[in-house]
Amino acid sequence: MPSADIILEFVNSHWKNLPKRPELDPNENNIAVAILDLLHSFETGDMTVTMESTYFADGDERDQNYDPSDDVCNEDIYDTIPANPNMVEFGGVPVEKAIVRRAVEYFGSRKGFHNNGQRNRPSLDEIKAKFRFITNKHHLQKLKDIELNGEIKETRRQMLKVVTDNLGEEVNKLLETGCIFHDTTIRFMVARIIKKKNLDLHLKVSKQWIDDFKKSNRISSRKITKFVTVKNHRNKNTLIQKGKEYVDLVNLQFGKYANSEVFSADQSGIQLELHTGRTLAQVGSKTVEVTVQSAASTTHSYTIMPVLSAEGKFHEKLFVVLQEISGKFPAKGHYQADNLEVTCHTSHIMTKKLMLDFFKDVYFDSSMPTNTLLLVDSWSSWKDKSAIDSVTPPSHSCETMIIPPGCTGNIQVLDVGIFNGFKRVIKYITGQLQFDRPDYKINRRDETLKMLSAVYRQICHPKLQPWAQYAWSASGYNIVRPPGFSTPAELLFPNNVAADCSSTGCNETSFIKCLYCDNLLCIDHFLVKEVHDC
């Protein structure tokens, strides 16, 4: 049987939950999973496909009005400053420290004092004749200061030059190797350069500083991939009205349930190697190529299913579905974490059986209220009330309210305000691993689970409860809008996060701040060598 027929037969049997399914090789299985992904998105009404074509006449690939000078900083204030630690600046002139020391020794070489009590020293003209970089009385005072302090200190401007020159070299290496990096990476690199060069420099790496650096080095944030598919809901006004009517019905139910008894659950696929869609690159680059550990891991995914209450609290466990070719975990098992409920299937796509496992192992566990309202999308399995009732304990009751097809993007709480923040944290961590620990295999089963456990633990911190509550308010439900809140990325990766790692004996630069202990941690002590669990 031709390969395409086998794939379609597998997709059909999987979609209809038939027990008999054909055997697929790994490549065929990947294609089948991609088709099932598309079908699931189409069934829930969250995807329509439009075709967009772009034509270029000869010579029209680039805007003819493009002027590279618009993107370049015209002045470099550090041009005349030495970036060599063995050099020191005298009136804008770089001078070797050894020569400066000889000038200091000569300036203090004479013995005795004048009648006015001042030391006998060579005159300015004598000094100028022997050391041409000495030109005025201020330079003589500088020699006195060096003689008094016993050391030649670089000026702040010179130390900034050391930082910018070394940063430029490191950025060029990242560009050459195709590494994904962003402004947060630059802050991390600056902190590490200051530490490595042992500079006595307190530098606040502001957005303006980074912007100036990027302009002077002709780099900017560029898209890695150009997406031409446009999400365009048909009957937009009708869908908006249906969504509003649904939200109104749910709001009426808030009178019957406490906020701690109203929940939203939804599934989301995440790439094994999730990366950002942009990276810093040379201005005017026609193509932007980057490196990843595995091309397959950028297309293969796993599924997460969080549960969030209307009071902004996540369920203590995150439901995770991994893709295993055999549909079973190996005999050695997998990484175990208290905050993860992990299962697997031949694809990461949710099935009715997996849905029932979700209810049995997560939703109806002892930590949940006995009487609940659950908001879910229009996936067909959610509509099978008899199947859900079959796994509902006698002590529990669950009323489900199905979101109209095509409306989940506007009124499904997790889609509106949670998944983007969750994935952004994963992207930060993946980017740091690619930059700092390129040999760490983030796409492997246990490494993926370790990261999910560490991230989910941070996401569940009470500091992020207002952020989670805002997702309910933004979706239109009768939840009081928090007066102010911070996103996970803002709390975990503040601008000053690049500092010394708080772990005892560690000399690495930190990249993340734990919300529980407020310690700054390097990638090794947050994830690679140990999963941080304070």
More confident residue, 89 or 389: 389
CB 14 within 8 A of CB 21: yes
- Shared domain for 339 and 467, answered yes or no, is yes
Q: For residue 54, is it within any domain?
A: no
- Shared domain for 119 and 264, answered yes or no, is no
Whether residue 71 has pLDDT greater than 50? no
226-230, 269-273, 524-528, range with the lowest pLDDT: 226-230
- Shared domain for 303 and 451, answered yes or no, is yes
pLDDT given at position 277: 64
Q: Mean pLDDT score of the chain, rounded to an integer?
A: 82
Q: For residue 189, is it within any domain?
A: no
pLDDT given at position 501: 96
How far apart (Å, rounded) are the C-alpha atoms in residues 55 and 53? 7
How far apart (Å, rounded) are the C-alpha atoms in residues 491 and 204? 18
Q: Which ranges constitute the DSSP H helices of 197-254?
A: 207-216, 236-253
- Looking at residue 460, the DSSP 8-state letter turns out to be T
pLDDT given at position 55: 33
Whether residue 176 has pLDDT greater than 50? yes
CA dihedral defined by 424, 426, 431, 434, rounded to 10 degrees? -170
> Where does the pLDDT of residue 52 fall: very low under 50, low under 70, confident under 90, or very high at 90 and above?
very low
Single residue among 149, 180, 201 that ends a domain in this structure: 149
pLDDT given at position 78: 42
Mean pLDDT of 121-148: 82
132-141, 275-284, 504-513, range with the lowest pLDDT: 275-284
- Shared domain for 265 and 406, answered yes or no, is yes
More confident residue, 234 or 264: 264
- Shared domain for 255 and 143, answered yes or no, is no
How far apart (Å, rounded) are the C-alpha atoms in residues 316 and 320? 13
List pLDDT tens digits, range 402-441.
999 888 888 999 999 999 999 999 999 999 998 999 889 8
Strands 520-521 and 512-513, how do they pair? antiparallel
Single residue among 149, 168, 183 that ends a domain in this structure: 149
Q: For residue 58, is it within any domain?
A: no
How far apart (Å, rounded) are the C-alpha atoms in residues 326 and 315? 30
pLDDT given at position 263: 97
- Shared domain for 39 and 91, answered yes or no, is no
- Shared domain for 367 and 254, answered yes or no, is yes
Kindly tell me the number of DSSP H helices and DSSP E strands found in the chain.
18, 14
How far apart (Å, rounded) are the C-alpha atoms in residues 523 and 439? 13
pLDDT given at position 399: 95
List pLDDT tens digits, range 489-526.
999 999 999 999 999 999 999 999 999 999 999 999 99
**Residue reference for tokens 């009005």:** 65
- Shared domain for 14 and 119, answered yes or no, is no
How far apart (Å, rounded) are the C-alpha atoms in residues 107 and 349? 80
* Environment class of 403 (CB within 10 Å of its CB; exposed 0-12, middle 13-18, buried 19+): buried
pLDDT given at position 471: 96
217-221, 259-263, 323-327, 392-396, range with the lowest pLDDT: 217-221
How far apart (Å, rounded) are the C-alpha atoms in residues 425 and 420? 9
pLDDT given at position 174: 86
CB 492 within 8 A of CB 425: yes
The two three-digit tokens of residue 23, written as one number: 């055997």
61-75, 301-315, 366-380, 497-511, range with the lowest pLDDT: 61-75
The phi and psi torsions of 513 (rounded to 5 degrees) equal -115, 120
- What's the Rg (C-alpha) of the chain? 31
Helix H or strand E encompassing 168 = helix 156-177
Q: For residue 161, is it within any domain?
A: no
Mean pLDDT of 247-255: 93
| Portion of the chain with pLDDT greater than 90, in percent | 45
For residue 31, the enclosing domain spans 3-43
> Strand ranges (DSSP E) for 272-339?
278-282, 301-305, 307-309, 318-323
Cβ count near 437 (within 10 Å): 16
Whether residue 23 has pLDDT greater than 50? yes
Single residue among 110, 134, 149 that ends a domain in this structure: 149
Whether residue 195 has pLDDT greater than 70? yes
Mean pLDDT of 209-226: 76
Bridge partners, residue 90, by sequence: 93
More confident residue, 450 or 99: 450
pLDDT given at position 31: 84
Mean pLDDT of 60-80: 35
- Shared domain for 249 and 371, answered yes or no, is yes
How far apart (Å, rounded) are the C-alpha atoms in residues 189 and 171? 9
Whether residue 339 has pLDDT greater than 50? yes
pLDDT given at position 276: 65
- Shared domain for 126 and 250, answered yes or no, is no
Domain of residue 516, CATH code = 3.30.420.10
* Count of domains forming the chain: 3
Q: Compute CA distances 99 → 79, 103, 144, whole Å.
A: 22, 6, 15
Strands 397-402 and 371-376, how do they pair? parallel
List pLDDT tens digits, range 138-171.
888 878 877 777 666 666 777 788 888 889 999 9
- Shared domain for 395 and 249, answered yes or no, is yes
How far apart (Å, rounded) are the C-alpha atoms in residues 172 and 360? 52
CB 405 within 8 A of CB 44: yes
Q: For residue 337, is it within any domain?
A: yes
pLDDT given at position 16: 78
Q: For residue 208, is it within any domain?
A: no
> Where does the pLDDT of residue 45 fall: very low under 50, low under 70, confident under 90, or very high at 90 and above?
low
More confident residue, 236 or 320: 320
- Shared domain for 93 and 29, answered yes or no, is no
Q: For residue 15, is it within any domain?
A: yes
Q: For residue 63, is it within any domain?
A: no
Whether residue 75 has pLDDT greater than 50? no
**Residue reference for tokens 């669950």:** 398
Which range of 143-157, 298-312, 340-354 scores highest in mean pLDDT? It is: 340-354
Mean pLDDT of 255-259: 93
Which range of 17-26, 44-53, 86-95, 118-127 scores highest in mean pLDDT? It is: 118-127
Whether residue 6 has pLDDT greater than 60? yes
